[in-house]
Structure 1
Amino acid sequence: MKASVYLVLATLFWSGNFIVAQAAVASMTPLDLTFWRWTLAAVPLVLLAHFVEKPDWRAVLRRWPVLLLLSVLGMSGYTLLLYGALGHTSAMNASLITAANPALIVVLAMVLTGEKTTRRGWFGITLGLLGVLLVLTRGELQRVVSLSLNIGEVMMIGAIFVWGCYTIIARRLDVPAITATATQVVIAGVTLAPLAVAANVRLPETPAEAWSLAYIVVFPSLGAYLLWNLALKTTAPGTAGNYLNLIVVFTAVITVVLGTPLTIVQIMGGLLVIAGVLLTGTKGRSKSPAPAVPTPASDPAPTGRHTP
Structure 2
Amino acid sequence: MQGRLGVVYPYILLIFVVLFYAGNILIGKALNDLLPFTIAFLRLFVALIFLFPIGIRSAREHRATFWNHRRPLLIMTLTGVAFFNTFIYGALQYTSATNVSVLETVIPVLTVILSAFLLKERLLPLQWIGVIISFTGALWVVIDGRFGNLVSLNWNIGDIIMIGAILSWSVYSIVVKQSIHLFPPLGALFMMTSIATLVLFPFVVIEWWVYGVPYLWKVDYILGFLYLGIFPSLIALIFYNNAVEQLGASKASVFLNFLPVFTMGGAYLWLGEKITLMQVTGALLVISGVVLTTQIGKKRKNHRGVKSKVNEA
TM-score by length of 2: 0.85
Compared CA separation, residues 54 and 239, structure 1 to 2 (3 A) = farther
**Deviation per CA, 1:23-56, whole angstroms, max 9, x where unpaired?**
1022x11111111111221242354456899973
Q: Check the 8 A contact 2:58/2:184 in 1, yes or no.
A: no
**By how many angstroms is 1:202 displaced?**
5.2
State the alpha-carbon separation in 1 of the partners of residues 36 and 135 from structure 2: 27
Match of 1:269 among 263, 282, 292: 282
Q: Check the 8 A contact 1:117/1:285 in 2, yes or no.
A: no
**By how many angstroms is 1:225 displaced?**
1.1
Provide the residue aligned with 2:233 in structure 1: 221
**By how many angstroms is 1:198 displaced?**
4.0
Mean CA deviation greater in 61-70 or 150-159: 61-70
State the alpha-carbon separation in 1 of the partners of residues 51 and 244 from structure 2: 17
State the alpha-carbon separation in 1 of the partners of residues 83 and 59 from structure 2: 27
Q: Check the 8 A contact 1:55/1:176 in 2, yes or no.
A: no
State the alpha-carbon separation in 2 of the partners of residues 97 and 117 from structure 1: 22
Provide the residue aligned with 1:296 in structure 2: none
Compared CA separation, residues 265 and 110, structure 1 to 2 (3 A) = same
Q: Check the 8 A contact 2:268/2:274 in 1, yes or no.
A: yes
**Deviation per CA, 1:237-277, whole angstroms, max 9, x where unpaired?**
11110111111110011122223331000110010011011
Q: How does 1:1-308 map to 2 (within 5 A)?
A: 1-26=8-33, 28-49=34-55, 56-173=62-179, 174-200=182-208, 204-258=216-270, 259-284=272-297, 287=300
Structure label with greater radius of gyration: 2
SS of residue matched to 2:111? helix
Task: Letter of the 1:206 partner, please give it.
Answer: K
State the alpha-carbon separation in 2 of the partners of residues 202 and 66 from structure 1: 35
State the alpha-carbon separation in 1 of the partners of residues 49 and 177 from structure 2: 24
State the alpha-carbon separation in 1 of the partners of residues 57 and 283 from structure 2: 40
State the alpha-carbon separation in 2 of the partners of residues 130 and 55 from structure 1: 48
**Deviation per CA, 1:62-93, whole angstroms, max 9, x where unpaired?**
32232122212221221211111100000000
State the alpha-carbon separation in 1 of the partners of residues 185 and 287 from structure 2: 26
State the alpha-carbon separation in 2 of the partners of residues 121 and 285 from structure 1: 11
State the alpha-carbon separation in 2 of the partners of residues 3 and 50 from structure 1: 28
- Structure 2: where are the runs of 5+ without partners? 1-7, 303-313
Q: Check the 8 A contact 2:57/2:187 in 1, yes or no.
A: no
**By how many angstroms is 1:286 displaced?**
7.4
Compared CA separation, residues 186 and 81, structure 1 to 2 (3 A) = same
**Deviation per CA, 1:189-243, whole angstroms, max 9, x where unpaired?**
1222233334436572311111111111111111111111222221201111011
Task: Letter of the 1:237 partner, please give it.
Answer: A
Q: Check the 8 A contact 2:130/2:292 in 1, yes or no.
A: yes
Q: Check the 8 A contact 1:117/1:286 in 2, yes or no.
A: no
**Deviation per CA, 1:129-156, whole angstroms, max 9, x where unpaired?**
1111111111123532443321111101
State the alpha-carbon separation in 2 of the partners of residues 231 and 176 from structure 1: 18
What is the aligned length?
289
**By how many angstroms is 1:180 displaced?**
2.5
SS of residue matched to 1:172? helix
- Structure 1: where are the runs of 5+ without partners? 290-308
Mean CA deviation greater in 176-185 or 159-168: 176-185
Compared CA separation, residues 150 and 261, structure 1 to 2 (3 A) = closer
Which has more helix, going by share of residues?
Answer: 2
Q: Check the 8 A contact 2:149/2:155 in 1, yes or no.
A: no
Compared CA separation, residues 206 and 2, structure 1 to 2 (3 A) = same
Root-mean-square deviation over aligned CA pairs:
2.4
SS of residue matched to 2:178? coil
**By how many angstroms is 1:169 displaced?**
1.9
Compared CA separation, residues 222 and 286, structure 1 to 2 (3 A) = closer
State the alpha-carbon separation in 1 of the partners of residues 235 and 263 from structure 2: 18
State the alpha-carbon separation in 2 of the partners of residues 52 and 229 from structure 1: 18
**By how many angstroms is 1:116 displaced?**
1.1
